Amino acid sequence: MSGTLYVVATPIGNLDDLSPRARQTLADVDLVAAEDTRHTGRLLSHFGIKTRLLALHEHNEKERAKKLIDELLEGRSIALVSDAGTPLISDPGYRVVHAAREAGITVTPVPGPSAMTAALSVSGLPTDRFCFEGFLPAKKKARRDLLARLSAETRTLVFYESIHRICESLADLEKAFGPDRPAFFARELTKVHEECIGATLGQLRQHADSGEIVQKGEVVLVVSGTEIAAGSTIDVDWLLDELAGKMPDKEVARIVAMATGEKRNKLYKRLLERASGPSK
Ligand code: SAM
């Protein structure tokens, strides 16, 4: 009989957040597949667990997936963990889980911490519908294009971000979504220096620019979705410029109308006029 693949969430800072079931699973399985064996080795030794470790990271996942599936088919059980939080959430593991399911192997979650849900749960922003965008692109143009496309999103948005890019990213978020959009900044969740700030995007950008935000640690940004239409502070011309040419004009008009409350037909006409150049 095949073994079971357990997808095990581990703490995002506070070791007491390792659930008793996660701890037991890590101790009981034949093998722990870990993103960084040294990092997970420290977690295991803290809890007195001696299970064998195998490295499974972004760069070897494809090739390692086959070995792990063979081990599972031979009846051994495996726990998949990442450095922190829930594996596969902006972390490796997708290929292994996919391959295991294809091979008819039982895949079981051992749920627990994730920075995404931790930040969202204390943000005070709407949680009934949200979208997780993972890491914002590091390159300025890709980031701005993505944010322009997301400016009409009505669900709460969750982003992972590097603290080193926080000033640039908040400036781009403010530009794309307007300075008054409610947002939430969460740094070092569950750790000694946990810091949470609920403010508008404009205020957060000012905090970051003035150096009030400590440039250290791990960050989640949560941003309220757009309240469709009335009172939008987004610059219509800027958004038209950002989106024009990247998708059909009708789609641009639809997104800009949703984000700003302007009439779709009027925007479409404006796009056609822009394309045909200044009128004489
Ligand atoms: N799989 C993890 C999870 O479930 O949260 C996320 C892994 S991703 C590679 C790492 C990113 O998660 C960090 O760059 C940061 O954006 C966020 N993160 C992880 N731990 C955090 C913490 N304690 N406080 C705030 N953000 C955190």
Q: From 245, 265, 235, select the one nearest 253 (Cα to Cα).
A: 265
pLDDT of residue 76: 98
Interval between CA 252 and ligand 1 midpoint (Å): 33
**pLDDT tens digit sequence for 156-203:** 999 999 999 999 999 999 999 999 999 999 999 999 999 999 999 999
CB-based contact 196:171 (threshold 8 Å)? no
Ligand 1 contacts CB of residue 148 (under 6 A): no
User: From the alpha carbon of 190, which atom of ligand 1 is closest?
Assistant: 23
Average pLDDT taken over every residue of the chain: 93
Interval between CA 184 and ligand 1 midpoint (Å): 15
- What dihedral angle (degrees, nearest 10) is formed by the CA atoms of 114, 59, 134, 164? 100
Residue with CA nearest ligand 1 atom 20: 12
Q: Which residue has the higher pLDDT, 263 or 16?
A: 16
Ligand 1 contacts CB of residue 116 (under 6 A): yes
Ligand 1 mutation pick, 160, 184, 215, 221, max ligand atoms within 8 A of CB: 160
Interval between CA 114 and ligand 1 midpoint (Å): 7
Fold exhibited by the domain 4-113:
Cobalt-precorrin-4 Transmethylase; domain 1 (3.40.1010)
Q: Give the 3-state secondary structure of residue 272.
A: helix
Ligand 1 mutation pick, 90, 121, 194, max ligand atoms within 8 A of CB: 90
**pLDDT tens digit sequence for 46-83:** 999 999 999 999 899 989 999 999 999 999 999 999 99
* Core vs surface per residue 226-261: b (16+ CB within 10 A) or e: beeeeebebebeebbebbbeeeebeebbbbbbbbbb
Q: For the residues 256-269, what does the mean pLDDT come to? A: 86
pLDDT of residue 257: 86
Ligand 1 contacts CB of residue 86 (under 6 A): yes
User: CB burial class (10 A; 0-12, 13-18, 19+) of residue 190?
Assistant: middle
Ligand 1 contacts CB of residue 91 (under 6 A): yes
Q: From 105, 64, 112, select the one nearest 89 (Cα to Cα).
A: 112
Interval between CA 85 and ligand 1 midpoint (Å): 7
Q: Which residue has the higher pLDDT, 233 or 30?
A: 30
Question: Residue 110 forms beta bridges with which residues?
Answer: 8
CATH number for domain 116-223, candidates 3.30.950.10, 3.30.230.30, 3.40.50.850, 3.30.70.2190: 3.30.950.10
**pLDDT tens digit sequence for 206-249:** 999 998 888 899 999 999 999 855 556 678 888 888 888 888 89
Q: For the residues 140-163, what does the mean pLDDT come to? A: 95
**pLDDT tens digit sequence for 95-123:** 999 999 999 999 999 999 999 999 999 99
Residue 31 predicted with pLDDT over 60: yes
What predicted TM-score, i.e. pTM, was given to this entire model? 0.85
pLDDT of residue 231: 56
Q: One fold for both 4-113 and 116-223?
A: no
Domain boundaries, the chain: 4-113, 116-223, 236-276
Q: Determine phi and psi for 175, rounding to 5 degrees.
A: -65, -45
